[in-house]
Structure 1
Amino acid sequence: MNLVKTFDGKRIQDVEEAINNFLNTYDGELIQFQIIKDNDLNIYEAIISYKQSNPSEKQLTV
């Protein structure tokens, strides 16, 4: 099953770091991502699609 999560940050590097930290903690595999810059709020927003590396493990709620 593919799961979806969103992240945001002032810099694109902040978003990248948050995604990497999440995937390392969750032990997940990134399937797809999209990054959008919101000029009105002056932030970057990312939507990722990922899957759990071991689906038999309990899903982590973050």
Structure 2
Amino acid sequence: MEGKKTNKLEEKILYLSPSPHVKSGESVPRIMWTVVITLMPATIMGVYFFGIRALWVILVSIATAV
């Protein structure tokens, strides 16, 4: 008795949708400015504790990111 061989591939469907996936009334620039404002206390304390070299690292990081 010979067995049946079946080569069935399951069809997988990939759904693509544009980002952002969560709808909000806020724009991306507004969210980014909120991030910058909330990072200011950490930046100030970093410069306070580690000195002017920390400020240079931050400024160089910003300059190379842009």
TM-score by length of 2: 0.29
Higher helix proportion (structure 1 or 2): 2
Bigger strand fraction: 1
Structure number, greater radius of gyration: 2
Which is bigger in relative contact order (C-alpha 8 A, separation at least 6)? 1
Q: Which TM-score applies when normalising by structure 1?
A: 0.30
